[in-house]
Structure 1
Amino acid sequence: MTDDITREITTTTALPLAPGHWAMDPFHSSVNFTIRHLGISRVRGRFTGVQADLHVGKTLDEVRVSATVDLASIDTGNADRDAHVRSADLLDVAKRPTMTFRSTRVSGAGEEWTMEGDLTIGDVTRPVRFAVEFGGLVDVPIGTGRHAGFEATGEIRRSDFGLDFAPGLLGDVLKIQLDMQFVEP
């Protein structure tokens, strides 16, 4: 019974966005992360090479989000650390150049949403879930159309993707924060 109720809410909730392909605004979007170092502090970083698409249908069942992240575009504010993270010790960008995400389900209403999907790093794919906050929809006065803003947060475990270098030095949990803007079709 609960699944039937959830399914009905998922498919009949009115969407705040017009149907169509919404393009990512690369100047106002970012993929950020934090990870524990030595268990006593956090290292923060971001990926600068990101492409994302939002397809909005008439119902939530038709909403699709996809993204590709260039793993070599990591930026933690320290060039030596970034070079090490790109190496075979950690991300091994020669073998795993990208991280991809494909949504499988979006649910929610108002400002609070959940997005579930498959995250792939190299040849490993795992399900992930993001809490999504809808920031709103606004007309941009300089003629670039309406923009929709979203913040999504979630966590993954490095070990789930075979990225288990230096346990104890680096935490296993990677916290992800996406700040995204999309432009109306």
Structure 2
Amino acid sequence: MTNETITTPAALPLAPGVWALDPLHSAVNFTIRHLGIAKVRGRFNGVRAELYVGERIEDVRVSATIDLATIDTGNPDRDAHVRTSDLLDVAKRPTMDFRSSRIRGEGEDWTMEGELTIGEVTRPVTLAVEFGGLVDVPVDGSRHAGFEATGEIRRADFGLDFAPGLLGDVVKIQLDMQFVEPTSA
């Protein structure tokens, strides 16, 4: 691999290669309505992801696996219930997997299309993506790229329709991700 960066107008300025997730500076957050009047916020603490950057924007891919048992809403009793067969059923559906299929946009307006799989159900998902920029970390000299992605899914689309009316169907997702440039770049 070379040390060149992608410089076409429709591309991100990232060195080609596999960028590893920086898990200490990344988060998978969500919001869901409760009783239609309030929001419950939470996060998943177990996330693995990588960003593959090719020579062209059409070659860029993102993959992620989220450990559903790592849900954290700030309430251990609620989290334990969410893990049961009433909701996520982590015994049968331990992970949620995302694979991008297309990234497009220009300037500051980017979208990432892909497929989200929860258990045996796979559905298309589109996320709005904001590129936060690149920075060289002074401590170790590594280069990091930051991204924020937002979107929403519907619980019913994945067979997670427990307690309609009690819990909203729409789950809003916010991903804050940092990736580390390949050392061979």
TM-score bracket for this pair, using the shorter chain length: over 0.9
2:42 aligns to what? 45
Task: Check whether the contact 1:15–1:59 (CA below 8 A) recurs between aligned residues.
Answer: no
Q: Structure 1 114/75 Cα, relative in aligned 2: closer, same or farther at 3 Å?
A: same
Give TM-score, length-normalised by structure 2.
0.92
Structure 2: give runs of 5+ residues left out of the alignment. Answer: 1-7
1:7 aligns to what? none
Q: Which one of 86, 89, 94 corresponds to residue 86 of structure 2?
A: 89
Query: Which of the two has greater helix per residue?
Result: 1
Task: Check whether the contact 1:39–1:169 (CA below 8 A) recurs between aligned residues.
Answer: yes
Note if 1:22 corresponds to 2:19: yes
SS in 2 for 1:52: strand
Tell me the distance in 1 between the aligned counterparts of 2:40 and 2:54. Answer: 38
Give TM-score, length-normalised by structure 1.
0.92
Per-residue CA deviations over 1:84-134 (Å, capped at 9, x if unaligned) read 000000000000000000000001123331000000000000000000000
Following superposition, the deviation at residue 60 of structure 1 comes to 1.1
Note if 1:184 corresponds to 2:184: no
Following superposition, the deviation at residue 144 of structure 1 comes to 4.4
Following superposition, the deviation at residue 143 of structure 1 comes to 1.2
Note if 1:32 corresponds to 2:16: no
Following superposition, the deviation at residue 56 of structure 1 comes to 0.3
SS in 2 for 1:90: coil
Tell me the distance in 1 between the aligned counterparts of 2:114 and 2:145. Answer: 21
Tell me the distance in 1 between the aligned counterparts of 2:127 and 2:20. Answer: 20
Q: Structure 1 166/144 Cα, relative in aligned 2: closer, same or farther at 3 Å?
A: farther
Q: Which one of 113, 118, 122 corresponds to residue 116 of structure 1?
A: 113
Query: What's the Cα RMSD here?
Result: 1.1
Tell me the distance in 2 between the aligned counterparts of 1:27 and 1:112. Answer: 27
Q: Which one of 100, 103, 110 corresponds to residue 100 of structure 2?
A: 103
Task: Check whether the contact 2:9–2:106 (CA below 8 A) recurs between aligned residues.
Answer: no
2:4 aligns to what? none
Following superposition, the deviation at residue 13 of structure 1 comes to 2.1
Which is further off, 136-145 or 84-93?
136-145
Report % sequence identity. 78
Report 1:118-133 matches (<5 A).
118-133=115-130
Structure 1: give runs of 5+ residues left out of the alignment. Answer: 1-10
2:3 aligns to what? none
Q: Which one of 161, 166, 172 corresponds to residue 163 of structure 2?
A: 166
1:97 is aligned with what amino acid?
Answer: P
Tell me the distance in 1 between the aligned counterparts of 2:81 and 2:156. Answer: 18
1:4 aligns to what? none
Q: Which one of 149, 152, 159 corresponds to residue 152 of structure 1?
A: 149
